Structure 1
């Protein structure tokens, strides 16, 4: 799964990388502890134009009567996203990309304490998470919301955690965004072994209020 992530790459750099037009209301960067329900930058395609714009992280199905009317849907499982009522229309019609510099996962020690790990590309290049989005509105409150698609982790990462975000490579972006015909389902697979690397980081990140570059510094042995 993916429950927290990091985005340090500037908006202008992301706009160039993805060939997208940036909105004026993107969240500030860098952010070292992006949490559910916060706004996140996303890329979607409208009429052949890519847009870099914010969405609320936490997918709200259209039948939710309030933001807390059901489970907080921050992730969508690749195995069921095309058939689950909450996600199936978005999977067909409203796919997007969530850029990230890295993300966190946790293991536990023998005493049950949560041990955080930072996961990123070995060279530091941005990650492109597969996402799906949904507009939601009730009683004057409106959100454009997003969930990150996850899948079973590849063999190397499965030693750390059994789930992983779907990471899209540049050659896959057009297909996922609906610009290159059908077949996006074939992209919902684990990153190839070696795509990601990880190391232990400070347990301060266990708090959703923690922030700052120290959160992604390797933990001293």
Structure 2
């Protein structure tokens, strides 16, 4: 599962990285505590294929809203979609065929249980400091006063290393696979929904301050003193 993340890389640098045209209303960065229902910056495909105009770098609500919801909170908050069942689930099956996206992040948090079931947070990032890029799906929910564009992160079973902390992990898409995941090539995207290779992440314990969705600041990802 991926239920909280960070984004500290500048929006203009991310737009250049993905060869994407940035929207004017992208979420403010840095953000060390991106929570469900917050806006996240998402990459969507070139409308006419790999040789057409730039991709789009645009804000979306993190929390996928199925088309049958009468209001955004009409059912469970769908921040993640399981890779193993995404093609069959009514909420996701159309999106995974035709509306795939890339969701960049600097890192993400997971929790283990301590004494008395205390929630102990861990921070995960790439060892080289580069952004990680999650596989996502998106759609527009149009039953409100204004259309709401929403997304979810795809997760898969954890690698042996990740399983020491959590049994699920976000699907990370390598740069050479971005075009395939976005549907800009004829290659199949399903094989990309797999755990990250060994060494893809590093992790350390952080203070329980991040357990609050109101917590802010770079101190949230500081390694916990021994």
Matches within 5 A, 1:1-221: 1-45=1-45, 46-48=47-49, 49-221=54-226
* TM-score (norm: length of structure 2): 0.96
Show structure 1 runs of 5+ residues with no match: none
SS for the counterpart of 2:14 is helix
Residues in 1 aligned to 2:29 and 2:67: alpha-carbon distance in whole angstroms: 30
- 2:149 alignment partner, SS class: strand
In the TM superposition, residue 182 of structure 1 has moved relative to its aligned partner by 3.4
TM-score normalized by structure 1? 0.98
Cα–Cα, structure 1 residues 139 and 52, in superposed 2: closer, same or farther, change >3 Å? closer
Residue 47 of structure 1 deviates from its aligned partner by 2.3
How far is the alpha carbon of 1:141 from its aligned partner?
Answer: 3.3
Moved over 3 A (4+): none
Taking only aligned residues, the RMSD between alpha carbons, in angstroms, comes to: 0.8
Indicate the SS of the match to 1:106. Answer: strand
Describe the shift of the 1:139–1:122 C-alpha distance in structure 2 as closer, same or farther (beyond 3 A): closer
* TM-superposed deviation, 1:138: 1.4
Q: Give the deviation of 1:123 after TM superposition.
A: 1.3
**Which 5+ residue runs of structure 2 have no aligned equivalent?**
none
